[in-house]
Chain A
Amino acid sequence: MTTTTTETNPRFDSSARTDRDAFAHRYIPESSSWTKPFPPDEPSENATGLHDRPPELVESFRCLLISGRDEIFEDGMESEFSKNLIDLIKKYGNDALAELAYFIVYEKVSAEVTGEALRWLGLMDHPLSYHWRLWLLERSLSSRSARIRDGAVLGLAFLDDPDAIPYVRQAADREPVKELRSDMEQVLVQLESGLRGHSS
């Protein structure tokens, strides 16, 4: 049997790969001077290329979200869950957000855990993941679960970004739960006052 192989070197691997086998042949660098693995790309919001997410990330999130079910969350209080969530996002950046998006968008986790996660997405300080956190919060306003919508609007209140106004307004217009609608309207007032403050 004849098998053909090519040498590989991760440092010049294509960022446009779509799966492990899509480019079975890879490139070696023009010389082999490096004696250690090439440092990974610096995380950047400007880059949009495809890359494999770290394999351990899936398991980390699964464990986090499963263990979160056993916790009792108190408003505004840190929990093991919130600390671990923030650590994962700070460690893996937007890869973590993409992973979390799966669980939240497809409602694979209990509404209570998702609501808690959303609140902390708004509270945490991590500029690199800001836009994906905002996206996930805005996206969750259209969840079927009132508890998730509640977590999303609280998260958006913490984030305090006027860019969310159109999404909060739409959500308030269609919100069937009276108390939640009132909360959304309050957040709208807060965001709009920020907009006025910004423009004056």
Chain B
Amino acid sequence: MPPVSTAERDPLAAWRVESLRLTAFPSPSAQIIEPTWWHDLRGEEPENRVSQPRKGGLKEQGPFAGGSLILGVEPTRIDWVYTPIIDEKQASEGFLTIGPLQDTIGVFTPLMNRWFELETCPTVQRLAFGAVTLQLAQDRRSGYRQLAQYLHSVQIDIENSSDFVYQINRKRHSGIIQGLDINRLTRWYVIAQQYVSMQMVVPPESMQMPSVPTHGSVGPSYHACRLEMDINTVPEFQGGFEREQLTLIFQELVDLALEISDHGDIP
């Protein structure tokens, strides 16, 4: 591993969270019938519940810790996703995020641990922790400079290149279960966001005419380094985890994500 000066990287708190996700893949023997998990964890009914009979699925959503908590259930997977609430004003002033990485993990992880402890939590044979995080940048070049501090195996030509995307999977052995491997998939790049506002004239329905834009304004553009992490146990692991192992394994996945956010792309 090349020597890395931590002084050049921003602190961990510079990573703002766009979304956190826990995905549990149930064992073949798991029977999931009308789960009430959202209510069980939050102690109230979700704001929205969408039954998806075509997918054999269910989606529930409601407020959680300044953001939105979404539960998605399908025959082959269960997803808990923590995202920002869509806020037009905040979106027009930059990127929509829930908060600093450590803070958001600090509220999401205990909630997921409570789910693992529920009697109705199914047997799980594969577990994943996903996080999408942003680190603000002044412009593309600054973004590349920031990324370069995390990508030790890559030489980015900051002045003469664009459209850079770096994706890698660096497997590790689990420290919790012998023989279990963990995928550490990451994708790094710089994004830009620009808010475009338009005034539309909407003709009466009887005229059967399309809406016409009459005035538009373009807001400033914002840049950020974006890091997508998908830390998950390998699909080859069969048989299902013991209930007591779930909390430990999930914490291991979260810790690996924190390590990547802090130290960058390391073996």
Contacts and interface: CB of A to CB of B under 8 A. Distances in A.
Given A7-B194, A33-B163, 5 more contacts: A2-B197, A22-B83, A30-B143, A136-B28, A167-B29
- Which of A14, A30, A50, A58 has the most C-beta atoms of chain B within 10 angstroms of its own C-beta? A30
12 contacts: A3-B199, A5-B198, A18-B79, A18-B83, A25-B86, A31-B140, A48-B126, A48-B130, A50-B81, A101-B56, A135-B28, A138-B28
Interface in B84-102: 86, 88, 91-92, 96
Interface in A1-40: 1-7, 12, 14-16, 18-19, 22-25, 27-31, 33-34
A126 interface: no
Contacts of B238: 163
B228 interface: yes
Contact of A49 (B75, B230, B239): B230
Contact of A18 (B31, B59, B140): B59
Interface in B191-233: 191-202, 223, 226, 228, 230, 232
A75 B194 CA distance: 60
Interface in B45-79: 54-56, 59, 70, 72, 74-77, 79
A105 interface: yes
B81 A4 contact: no
A97 interface: yes
A142 interface: yes
A12 B189 contact: yes
Nearest to A45: B235
B6 interface: no
Interface of B: 18-19, 21, 23, 25, 28-29, 31, 54-56, 59, 70, 72, 74-77, 79, 81, 83, 86, 88, 91-92, 96, 126, 128, 130, 132, 140, 143, 162-163, 169, 183, 185, 189-202, 223, 226, 228, 230, 232, 234-236, 238-239
Given A4-B195, A6-B193, A138-B28, A106 B56 contact: yes
A17 to B, nearest CB: 8
Nearest to B213: A3
Interface of A: 1-7, 12, 14-16, 18-19, 22-25, 27-31, 33-34, 44-50, 58, 97-98, 101-102, 105-106, 131-132, 135-136, 138-139, 141-142, 163, 166-167, 170
A30 B196 contact: no
B193 A27 contact: yes
Contacts of B130: 16, 48-49
A30 B190 contact: yes
A105 B59 contact: no
A1 B197 contact: no
Contacts of A6: 91, 193-196
- Which of A4, A5, A48, A138 has the most C-beta atoms of chain B within 10 angstroms of its own C-beta? A48
